[in-house]
Structure 1
């Protein structure tokens, strides 16, 4: 048995996933250990306000650099990857500046238009979130390209200690939503800062050297990877709206407490994805990119990774589906019982979202970003419809969340099957060449 374990660890993919997962596991352990205390300090309404803020920033933050950072892993030439880094940072600064100007002029109009008075004082933090997100995306993708997974893992641990510990300490004196929002706004920036600090001096100098040696034409780089802002950026936008939709619609239909229940339920159910799914995805992306360059069977890679995540995810998500209300009321307190009911249905959607990670990471490599955009638009429209049905037809927040969870599960299964079909066609086309 020991020999088999040692043999598995020697496989680069397994070793890299283990490195990422171990750091993320410790970070999530810190988060989980402090979550019961944090939920008791702040309460559902504070989490509801936080949920609205996260829903808004969750739409704009992924677009901080128009998804150009995702392309950093792909180029064969190192100077092209560095050019993408510079391009991404410039775009992030421009977008953050533009948003800051818009907010300074139209803040009140935006608040009234979207009926978000509860977060009006915090909208000026959005440019900060955009800058932090852009910085994180660039550093994260560079480290993925260089396979420096240990740095990402260590940064995740420090981020968890500072953010969750800070929420507890500050909450003892000021148990208000603004504390949660401020820590959240700077969270990605803190992680990116420590990633950059932990990157070796040699690597930092190599990155800086890109501006001193042969100048890379950023216009050429932007055009070469134009598929990312053309297809991936709209997909990311629609997906972010789709993820934030329940929060915004529940806030409008049922009030902030309902958003608080959803937010804590979604936070708990995202832990397996953050712990294992993201680790697998971050390692799988450069792995499948390298496999495509060397002519390996991408279909089998996607199948194996999906099956592995299915085996891992069935237990944690299954437990929430069966015992959600009991667990939530016991861990977080009796006033979070409804969050457990929400979590049952969120778990159904989250499980299939968890196992579709290899498919999502494979689509850029397969040249299927156009399909991904169309799929995300379909998912967004479906979610709008089912949440509206839950409110207008049943006047029930729990039915709305249940319909949301079921539709998410069905659509994620469709995405996985479609990706497998696309990878089969891709394999056949490359074999015939």
Structure 2
């Protein structure tokens, strides 16, 4: 029986390069998420919701920078025809990440007392934010190297690294929490340790990126001129998205750190099906979309949407029904509110599964301006609602989930129209 399953898996994986890549990444992500989920059951009993909430503020501030730390030059690594140019772009991305990391710590040092007073007078949070550039560098550089692996089609290495990363971070958080009896310092130390181990593990797999520069390779200045649209046009999209994602956490944290802790557990747990279904498909179809010929884009997008819908509808329906009962049962009675936050997030994250695999269509068709216009509205709506809502925080989040789901329906329609226009008008030039 086991051998038959292995044979069938191998036939599926080798029968189609695209399907094989997706299955490889899905298996890696599933393994990583399963390990993390099990460890989170114990982590939730070591740290309080206040610890999680303060860490959520730290993660939101660093996460705001991480998304554009490389100025989006990391995404361009998959675009050049030759590896020499791609290596230059990887080095350019690395330098941008270093500068962004230093600036993050510097800004947090300057605004340390303001941040401390705004977030419930947490001295520990203030001191950790002063070295938050370390987290920015580690996470952004891991992403940078993974784009190189995507370019080379090394999806097995990406899957293995994903398992290592999730396991290392969660394990280190748990060990640090047990040794230090919980607290913000323990969870940050554990996270940074896990991220550092992940980056070391990943860098050892790409010795070609550490070779001396090819004298015939283009300069960084030449590559910046060639791909200047990426930071100027795609960068603002990511900047606005980062304000939205992390601003939501910061608004909730300003109202109640404990509420943010409950929200963070719900969000991270709900990301298990989101990452499993959409993350792997997005990584593979980024390359597939970039290679699509006119006339093939819209059918490809429809096929991806249909498969994502079929994969997501059952697990998300079950989560909506069972989350308020499951969370206190699995994570302990102190996390009962997290189950209701998870239910509130279900419509939003279900639509996120559908739109994530096709979001890069605006990049590969050079329609970043459309995505930017949508991103501005998509950012303004939730933050305005959180700022003005007269409702209690739980009801506010329920309305937030529905608002975001409706807006992602609009984005889905935009993506389909963009694909049809690409097929009708006959292609695109390289991003320049």
Q: Which digits, 9 at most, give the CA deviation of each residue in 1:302-345, with x for residues without a partner? A: 11111111111112211121111101111111221111111111
- Matched with 1:180 is 187
Q: Which digits, 9 at most, give the CA deviation of each residue in 1:395-433, with x for residues without a partner? A: x11111011101110111111110110110111000799
Taking the aligned partners of 1:275 and 1:403, their CA distance within structure 2 comes to 26
Relative to the length of structure 1, the TM-score reads 0.91
Secondary structure of the 1:198 match is: coil
Query: 1:99: Cα distance to partner?
Result: 2.9
CA contact 2:55–2:184 (8 Å) conserved in 1: yes
Q: Which digits, 9 at most, give the CA deviation of each residue in 1:106-147, with x for residues without a partner? A: 433454467774621210232112211331122010000001
- Matched with 1:71 is 76
Taking the aligned partners of 1:353 and 1:8, their CA distance within structure 2 comes to 27
- Matched with 1:289 is 290
CA change 1:63–1:115 in 2 (3 A) is farther
Query: 1:382: Cα distance to partner?
Result: 0.3
- Matched with 1:82 is 87
- Matched with 1:134 is 140
Secondary structure of the 2:130 match is: helix
CA contact 2:170–2:194 (8 Å) conserved in 1: no
- Matched with 1:426 is 422
Aligned pairs, how many? Answer: 422
Taking the aligned partners of 1:187 and 1:420, their CA distance within structure 2 comes to 39
* 2:351 counterpart of 1:352: yes
Secondary structure of the 2:131 match is: helix
* 2:67 counterpart of 1:62: yes
Query: 1:170: Cα distance to partner?
Result: 2.2
* 2:259 counterpart of 1:258: yes
CA change 1:188–1:222 in 2 (3 A) is farther
CA contact 2:118–2:254 (8 Å) conserved in 1: no
Of 44, 49, 58, the match for 2:54? 49
Q: Structure 2: which 5+ residue stretches go unaligned?
A: none
Of 16, 19, 33, the match for 1:14? 19
- Matched with 1:316 is 315
Secondary structure of the 1:179 match is: helix
- Matched with 2:159 is 153
Query: 1:296: Cα distance to partner?
Result: 5.5
Secondary structure of the 1:291 match is: coil
CA contact 2:172–2:193 (8 Å) conserved in 1: no
Aligned pairs for 1:354-433 (under 5 A) are: 354-390=353-389, 393-394=390-391, 396-430=392-426
Q: Structure 1: which 5+ residue stretches go unaligned?
A: none
CA contact 1:132–1:189 (8 Å) conserved in 2: yes
CA contact 2:63–2:136 (8 Å) conserved in 1: no
Query: 1:385: Cα distance to partner?
Result: 2.2
Secondary structure of the 1:65 match is: coil
CA change 1:114–1:20 in 2 (3 A) is same
Relative to the length of structure 2, the TM-score reads 0.92
Taking the aligned partners of 2:160 and 2:8, their CA distance within structure 1 comes to 27
Taking the aligned partners of 1:350 and 1:149, their CA distance within structure 2 comes to 25
CA contact 2:172–2:194 (8 Å) conserved in 1: no
- 1 or 2, which has the higher helix percentage? 1
Q: Which digits, 9 at most, give the CA deviation of each residue in 1:272-302, with x for residues without a partner? A: 122231111111111111224xx46111111
Q: Which shows bigger deviation, 416-425 or 315-324? A: 315-324
Q: Which shows bigger deviation, 101-110 or 172-181? A: 101-110
